[in-house]
């Protein structure tokens, strides 16, 4: 089994740059400077989180179950990964709240009834 490559330097934490690529079949080698994908800069836990998010088709309720964490924790981790990958995080007030998410948060005591009503009215 081959070791996985992550895009961060284990010494200083800076982004790594690929300089050589090799074909496993014909052994052709290409040298130069190659950018890694945005996913390469995620650590093992973040990558597992993203893979799970894709597997459950973005269902936050499923993410809560898979990782045994609350809605706000899922959102916080997603925001962190989105930022780390170089994208801008949409603030909640920019995107309409889904009724089932709001009701789940209310049921779990994460928001008050008044906050739930305000989110549902948006």
- pLDDT digit string (tens) for 30-50? 999 988 889 988 999 999 999
Tell how strand 18-22 and strand 29-34 pair up: antiparallel
Cα dist. 108→67, 84, 111, 113 in Å? 16, 29, 8, 11
How far apart are alpha carbons 100 and 108 in whole angstroms?
Answer: 12
- pLDDT band at residue 95 under the 50/70/90 scheme: low
- pLDDT band at residue 56 under the 50/70/90 scheme: very high
More confident position, 81 or 106: 81
- φ/ψ of 75, rounded to 5, equals -60, -40
CB atoms within 10 A of CB 87: 11
Q: Answer whether 100's CB lies under 8 Å from 107's CB.
A: no
SS3 33: strand
- pLDDT band at residue 108 under the 50/70/90 scheme: confident
- pLDDT band at residue 94 under the 50/70/90 scheme: very low
What average pLDDT does the structure give for the chain? 87
- φ/ψ of 8, rounded to 5, equals -120, 140
Q: Does residue 69 have a pLDDT over 70?
A: yes
């Amino acid at each position: 089994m081959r070791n996985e490559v992550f895009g961060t330097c284990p010494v200083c934490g800076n982004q790594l740059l690929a300089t050589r690529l090799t074909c496993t079949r014909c052994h052709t080698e290409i040298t130069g400077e190659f950018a890694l994908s945005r996913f390469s800069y995620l650590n093992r836990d973040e990558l597992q989180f993203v893979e799970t998010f894709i597997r459950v088709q973005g269902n936050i309720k499923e993410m809560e179950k898979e990782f045994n964490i609350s809605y706000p924790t899922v959102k916080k981790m997603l925001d962190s990964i989105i930022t780390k990958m170089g994208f801008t995080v949409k603030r909640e007030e920019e995107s309409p709240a889904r009724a089932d998410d709001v009701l789940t948060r209310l049921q779990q005591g994460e928001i008050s009834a008044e906050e739930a009503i305000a989110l549902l009215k948006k």
